Amino acid sequence: MLAALTEERAEKRNLMTQFQAMQAQLSELNPIREELTKRQQEATAKAEQEAFEANPAEYLRKQQEALAQRMDAYRQQQDQVSWQQQQLQQFHQSVSMEATEYSKRVTDYPDAFGYVRDRRMAEYAVLGVPPEQAQSLFDQESWGLAVQARQHGKSAPEMVMELAKLWGYQQKTGTTTAGNVTNISDKIKRVEAGMKASATLSGGLPTESSVLKKVEAMSDAEFDEFWDKEVTPEKGF
CB 99 within 8 A of CB 109: yes
pLDDT in tens, 94-114: 999 999 999 999 999 999 999
pLDDT in tens, 54-87: 888 888 888 889 889 989 999 999 999 898 889 8
How distant, in Å, are the alpha carbons of 49, 50, 61, 74 from that of 64? 16, 18, 5, 15
Instruction: Give me the average pLDDT of each 10-residue run along the chain (237 residues).
Output: 76 84 83 86 87 85 88 90 89 90 91 94 92 90 90 90 93 63 46 47 46 59 62 43
pTM of the model: 0.46
Partner residues linked to 176 by β-bridges: 106
Contacts of 37 (CB under 8 A, 6+ apart): none
CB 182 within 8 A of CB 176: yes
3-state secondary structure of 236: strand
Q: Which residues of 50-64 are buried (b: 16+ CB within 10 A; e: fewer)?
A: eeeeeeeeebeeeee
Measured distance CA(198)–CA(231) in Å, rounded = 8
